Amino acid sequence: MKEDVPSSASSTGTDHMLDMAENLVTQCKKMVSTADEFFQPKEKWEAGKQFSRQHPVVAFFAIILVAMSVIPLACFCAFAICTTLAVLASCLFFEGDYPS
């Protein structure tokens, strides 16, 4: 026979899961704040804006260089992904199991 599980046992398990989730959220928040303190993105953004005001030609060159470098990389990644999907689809089509 099956014994009835007291409702307190199931609520204890639920409470334990909620506590674990809460601890995980707290740890994630602590890690994000630690990374924010270490990398200091706001200060670096302000320093970059100040540099671009002082040296506009260098900033323009850097922006154009990054943009022109990203375009071929994105095209290659799109080509690689599409090729992989085409190969997988063709394998399913040609090697698929047809009913007799």
**48 found inside a domain:** no
Q: Is 40 left (phi over 0), alpha (psi -120 to 50) or beta?
A: left
pLDDT for residue 50: 97
Which pLDDT score is estimated for 1? Answer: 47
CB-neighbour burial class of residue 68 (10 A; exposed 0-12, middle 13-18, buried 19+):
exposed
pLDDT at 97: 65
Q: What is residue 12's predicted lDDT score, i.e. its pLDDT?
A: 80
Asked whether residue 23 is domain-assigned, the answer is: no
Q: How many domains does the chain have?
A: 1
The reported pLDDT for the residue numbered 9 is 53
Domain boundaries, position 99: 55-100
- The pTM is what? 0.50
Angle (CA) 7-11-12 rounded to 5° is 115
- All residue ranges of the chain with pLDDT < 50 are 1-2
Q: Establish if 78 belongs to a structural domain.
A: yes
